[in-house]
Amino acid sequence: MTEIREETAIEARGVVKRFGGKAAVDHVSLQVKRGEFISLLGPSGCGKTTLLRMLGGLEHPDQGVILLGGQDVSAIPAYGRNTNMIFQQLALFPHMDVFNNIAYGLKVKKVPRAEIQRRVAEVLELVQLPEYGSRAITQLSGGQAQRIAIARALVNKPDVLLLDEPLSALDMQLRLDMQRELKRIQRESGGTFIFVTHDQGEALNMSDRIGVMRSGSLLQYGTPDEIYERPADSFVAKFIGETNLLPVRVLGAESGRLHVEWHGHRLQVAAPQSGPAAAAGEQGQLSIRFEYIRVGEEAAELPNRTKARVVDTVYGGTMMRYRLVSDDGIELTAHRLHQPGGLRYGIGDIVDIGWRSEDAIYVRDHDSMERDREGRPA
């Protein structure tokens, strides 16, 4: 027990926040370990900013607790916690130079002058702008301003740095550079970062763990691989990456595998990793990632295969996207790596398609789970 506490930087336990009677965050629990990079990911309005603001003390939970380093800080406002927040609007002081922007918080805390000099120099080094102390804020590029905002937050040595979509105003190339940069800074500083985003690519690129949210609930909290390969339900499967979802009925389970029925075919598939075991008769979805659908010769030996007609093709440089309609009239999409001189199919071609049993995952239907949850007494 003690060991977990020591390792945990911040934790939300059964946290609820309501606005006008509606839960923006609905019984969310999550633990973030020291030195982890976490993303909160979900569509607009799912409650990720509200959760972040509660972790930072800008909002207070109606129910549940926030623990910082094992201490209950639920009632302590932002200025009383050793957390720092960076927003999309960086809110740097335009009338001060870079040094004074970064030093501001330390001066307020009456940190000795020599220590301020040392700590500001240290963080400027960390964000790779060591010569920029005397630069005016108005003379920084977008990426440099981002780094200065990060330096200003890190100079306070926060236990946790909370970042609310700080990269979303940047153009694509700069955004990708800053993703790498942010990850490097986090690694080198050993800090605990919690990053809010609605961009799945951003979350997958940077995070040790991702919390996927929808309608105030935390649907899944796990490593990028877990979330991608073992999604908790059909919403997570669709929100992260691209996948084919096929409605199926569970027939039964056998040594960690499920048997499901799909259009009269009996298929063996991977069972969900968490939650209660899928019961016979349950209706759910089969998730098969676009890149797991094999086409042509590579499908010939597979146990799960059928004939399909190519109805559309998209050339994507390294990858071909095929839209296919099976003999049963089911629409599927396949992504295949495209090699120069490799075989390519065209519209109207009839091909074998198939997938390995372990690549088809049974996921619970998100909407019916939601209905069950709503029907349950609070």
Ligand X SMILES: Nc1ncnc2c1ncn2[C@@H]1O[C@H](COP(=O)(O)OP(=O)(O)OP(=O)(O)O)[C@@H](O)[C@H]1O
Contacting positions for ligand X (CB under 6 A):
19, 24, 42, 44-50, 198
Output the smallest distance, CB 219 to ligand X, in A: 13
**Nearest distance, CB of residue 215 and ligand X, angstroms:** 9
Residues 207 and 38: their CA atoms lie apart, in Å, by: 5
Nearest approach in angstroms of CB 66 to ligand X is 15
Q: How far is the CB of 162 from ligand X (least distance, A)?
A: 12
Neighbour-count burial of 240, counting CB atoms closer than 10 A to its CB (0-12 exposed, 13-18 middle, 19+ buried)? buried
DSSP string, 148-205: HHHHHHHTT--SEEEEESTTTTS-HHHHHHHHHHHHHHHHHHT--EEEEES-HHHHHH
Smallest separation (angstroms) from ligand X to the CB of 51: 7
Among 345, 308, 347, smallest CA distance to 324 is for 308
Closer to ligand X at the Cβ: 58 or 325? 58
Q: Look at the block and give the residue holding tokens 């700590």.
A: 119
- Taking the least distance from each CB to ligand X, the nearer of 121 and 204 is 204
Check the CA dihedral 113-117-120-126 and report its sign.
Answer: negative
* Comparison of 42 and 272: residue with beta carbon closer to ligand X: 42
What single DSSP character describes residue 29? E
Give the nearest distance from C-beta 135 to ligand X in angstroms: 31
The widest CA-to-CA distance across the chain, in whole angstroms, is 76
Which CA distances in Å does 97 have to 51, 101, 139, 152, 353? 33, 6, 10, 12, 62
Tell me the one-letter amino acid at 55.
L
Residue nearer to ligand X on the CB measure, 52 or 123: 52
For ligand X, which is the closer residue by CB, 90 or 246?
Answer: 90
Nearer to ligand X (CB atom), residue 46 or residue 310: 46
Closest approach, Cβ 377 to ligand X, in A, equals 23
- Shortest Å distance, C-beta 227 to ligand X: 17
Q: Please give the backbone phi and psi of residue 301, each rounded to the nearest 5 degrees, phi first.
A: -90, -5
Paired tokens of 55? 């972790």
Exposure string of 29-48, with b = 16+ CB inside 10 Å and e = fewer, is: ebbbbeebbbbbbbeeebbb
Of 46 and 98, which CB lies nearer to ligand X in the complex structure? Answer: 46
**What are the C-alpha distances in Å from 281 to residues 163, 278, 284, 333?**
44, 9, 10, 27
